């Protein structure tokens, strides 16, 4: 938001040639009347600055609303399947257009329509890309036969169970919750088609102690 500096213009008066008998009176009249133009000019400038400031504020608010409505969407997280990154009832913003300009990547935290009920939305982390083979052995994730390090999954949230090798179909993604022992994810409902993925988690704004970028947290875990 731009902030305009208020400028004050000081008005000066030039002395007039006084008449012989009324010089004192004329000077008194001019001296007493001179503050009026100055005060009026100052008030006019102040009103102008207020109008400009108000206009800029309204434009900034309007642009912010357009960005939030059309580019970002506030959502509420329900459940603990993405803990510790996201907690139950946490409020975040998702970017709804990012995947129109760049591909979905491993490690992205995405929001998608639940494949078994399109009236519900889920949020999970992408671990398998189209054409890759995903497998879990005693809780360890393997992609194409290679171990994938997952620093975002705390030891107390690990699931030591197995998941048989599965090849991710074209235009689909294998997603898991970070809280592995408490997550309904692709191990249950299978890979998620890209057509159901409609956003990426980018920013947490509530509660205030979680305020900050989620993308930086994702990048540090990749």
Task: Give me the active site residues, please.
Answer: 81, 124
Cis preceding-peptide flag for 84 (omega within 30 of 0): yes
Q: How many residues does the chain have?
A: 222
- What does the alpha-carbon distance between residue 124 and residue 127 come to, in Å, rounded to a whole number? 9
Cis preceding-peptide flag for 93 (omega within 30 of 0): no
Burial-class residue 209 by CB neighbours within 10 Å (0-12, 13-18, 19+).
Answer: exposed
Q: Please, are residues 77 and 166 in contact by the beta-carbon 8 Å criterion?
A: no
> Which helix H or strand E contains 186, and what residues bound it?
helix 186-189
Residue in this structure with the two tokens 């990012």, named with its chain if needed: 98
- What does the alpha-carbon distance between residue 62 and residue 162 come to, in Å, rounded to a whole number? 51
Fill in the DSSP letter of residue 210. Answer: G
């Amino acid at each position: 938001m731009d902030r305009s500096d208020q400028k004050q213009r000081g008005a000066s008066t030039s002395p007039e040639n006084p008449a012989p008998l009324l010089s004192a009176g004329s000077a008194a009249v001019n001296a007493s009347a001179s503050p009026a133009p100055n005060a009026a000019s100052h008030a006019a400038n102040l009103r102008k600055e207020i109008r400009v400031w108000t206009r800029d504020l309204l434009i900034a608010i309007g642009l912010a609303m357009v960005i939030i409505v059309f580019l970002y969407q506030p959502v509420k997280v329900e459940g603990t399947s993405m803990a510790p990154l996201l907690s139950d009832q946490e409020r975040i913003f998702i970017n709804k257009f990012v995947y129109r300009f760049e591909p979905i990547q491993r490690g992205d935290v995405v929001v998608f329509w639940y494949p078994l009920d399109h009236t519900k939305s889920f949020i999970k982390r992408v671990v398998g890309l189209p054409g890759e083979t995903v497998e879990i052995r005693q809780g360890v994730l393997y992609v194409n036969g290679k171990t994938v390090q997952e620093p975002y999954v705390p030891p107390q949230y690990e699931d030591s169970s197995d998941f048989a090798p599965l090849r991710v179909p074209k235009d689909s993604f294998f997603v898991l919750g970070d809280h592995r022992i408490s997550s309904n994810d692709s191990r249950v409902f299978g890979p998620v088609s890209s057509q159901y993925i409609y956003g990426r988690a980018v920013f947490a704004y509530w509660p205030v102690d979680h305020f900050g970028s989620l993308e930086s947290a994702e990048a540090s875990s990749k």
